[in-house]
Structure 1
């Protein structure tokens, strides 16, 4: 009779499982967001644009402490920095120095650096909020038109054509020009900011609406939509749980490209004198005031450079996002 096998002690130890490496290791799945981030990290120009955008947002949020630390009250008249005979800034290069980093304005002597920092908050606020309004309206209209098609698509398409053919700049000038000083519980520049956000956002939604409509037309024919429909999913579930999450990437990219256009539009209205009321600083308003003093280049260069850097940074970052989310990119 055979003796029982002793499995106790060192002989009972289970040998370790072999570790897989190289080609034997399972391939780890990666989400679209992770793939886009890996592509974006390789695009140094887009990263530089994104960092610049982040710095501009931080400057707008912390405008007050930045002004207190490096500048002066943007509304304060510094007559001691102005020549009483010529009404031009004292000193070289428009009065630039330790006290006024970018010089002062002629006649009134207001600090240019402080006014540019303060104006960033208004420009970015209008640009961001107007973009949110246009993205919300455009996304809803585009998804509904693309998903349901038929007469719904025809009606929404004609509405888009009417808005795209509308002379937005002329309408904005006319509406803001006759706007009262009080209304809707707001007054002064608060009412003007709300009106600019409404005009820019409400009348610029068809451009993003067309993009969302085209993407929805493609997504509604995909297999996962057919599978959800075959399982009895309602239209609301398919729109908000299946189609809309797949539209977030193109919506994000186009919103990034739409913000600088809205900032430029606000600057153009302020330049034409129908934007924010002075003396509240805006970049467009500063350019409008600088036209009278064409012999002082610093008065024109610095607010113009602020607009140029902001628009360029958003465009570079938006182009990088578009390439990063493009599934055909290598």
Structure 2
């Protein structure tokens, strides 16, 4: 038997019970709290996320922003255009206090207002198309990964077919072939719905493959076996046990898919198959600037920078979010 510890008189050493009584409670942290702590350390990702949030607010409140600045997207200012050269009067494309980004050649429309309204179109199409592709891809991916067998084979071959599909050519052909009014939609509403459908419906295999691979590993975990042993049905296991554990890769891939959709929409608008004028679009502005870059190069810079900075901000935020949710990916 060991002898008890002896404490000399006047010693300041505290007993273990006293230390435990004075200690505070240790609180656990959830995965999302730990991920937020990691994300806060990544200043570049936070800067990208802040810009994305600002861009979303600018797109939502575009009329308010333009009203505060005192500009409009579709009003002509031909008095500010040189009648002989058809270029803005003054230096740097007509930049002034009244027109912070200058004006367009020929008609003199304000570029800042059109950039702001173009953000609304680009983000609307990108978010809706991403949502559609995520819903389809996650549903089919989780079903293929969990059931396996002929279900997995069928869905995987369907993914291969969609991945081999010439999406750009199909989008150009479909947008050009659809009439001006169909299914109760017409004008730009029809164009936006059509572009969202094309991008979202044919982009789901990318996220579907990721979710299928994650589901293949998760279906063998203990919590899935426990749910089966308790008699849980397959829909419950799929959407209550597996889906919450797939939120992290879904969020990461969605943030990286949005800038791809922004570029796709800008490309369609550049080729003339996006929203119809006079509705502002970044791709359409770049298409118009291509005819004036020799005499008015400033016209090309604002829409080009808008696309570049938007895509860069989404990518930086997506990379930071991936590292925060999965530190092993570093």
**Which interval holds the TM-score relative to the shorter structure?**
over 0.9
Q: Which residue number in structure 1 is paired with residue 293 of structure 2?
A: 294
Matched, 1:243 2:242: yes
Q: Which residue number in structure 2 is paired with residue 328 of structure 1?
A: 328
Distance in 1 (CA, whole Å) between partners of 2:98 and 2:130 is 37
Superposed, 1:121-136 pairs within 5 Å as 121-136=120-135
* TM-score (norm. length: structure 2): 0.92
Matched, 1:66 2:65: yes
Cα distance, 1:28 vs structure 2: 2.3
Q: Which residue number in structure 2 is paired with residue 306 of structure 1?
A: 306
> Secondary structure of 1:201's partner?
helix
Aligned residues: 313
Distance in 2 (CA, whole Å) between partners of 1:313 and 1:108 is 32
Distance in 1 (CA, whole Å) between partners of 2:24 and 2:66 is 56
Superposed, 1:1-330 pairs within 5 Å as 18=18, 20=20, 27-295=26-294, 296-328=296-328
Cα distance, 1:327 vs structure 2: 4.9
Cα distance, 1:180 vs structure 2: 1.0
Distance in 2 (CA, whole Å) between partners of 1:161 and 1:231 is 36
Gaps of 5+ in 2: 1-16
Cα distance, 1:328 vs structure 2: 2.6
Cα distance, 1:25 vs structure 2: 5.2
Deviations 1:42-82 (A, max 9, x none): 00000000000000001001100111111422111111110
Deviations 1:146-200 (A, max 9, x none): 0000000000000000000000000000000112111111111110000000000
* TM-score (norm. length: structure 1): 0.92
Does structure 2 conserve the Cα–Cα contact (< 8 Å) formed by 1:181 and 1:187?
yes
Does structure 1 conserve the Cα–Cα contact (< 8 Å) formed by 2:192 and 2:275?
yes
Q: Where has structure 1 moved over 3 Å in runs of 4 or more?
A: 17-22, 24-27
> Secondary structure of 1:204's partner?
helix
Deviates more, 1:305-314 or 1:273-282: 273-282
Cα distance, 1:88 vs structure 2: 0.8
Deviations 1:252-282 (A, max 9, x none): 0100000000000000000011111111110
Cα distance, 1:20 vs structure 2: 3.5
Task: Give the alignment's Cα RMSD to 1 decimal.
Answer: 1.5
Distance in 2 (CA, whole Å) between partners of 1:78 and 1:197 is 34
When residues 20 and 80 of structure 1 are mapped into structure 2, their CA distance, relative to the original with a 3 A threshold, is farther
Q: Which residue number in structure 2 is paired with residue 12 of structure 1?
A: none
Distance in 1 (CA, whole Å) between partners of 2:235 and 2:201 is 24
Distance in 1 (CA, whole Å) between partners of 2:82 and 2:21 is 77
> Secondary structure of 1:20's partner?
helix
Deviates more, 1:252-261 or 1:84-93: 84-93
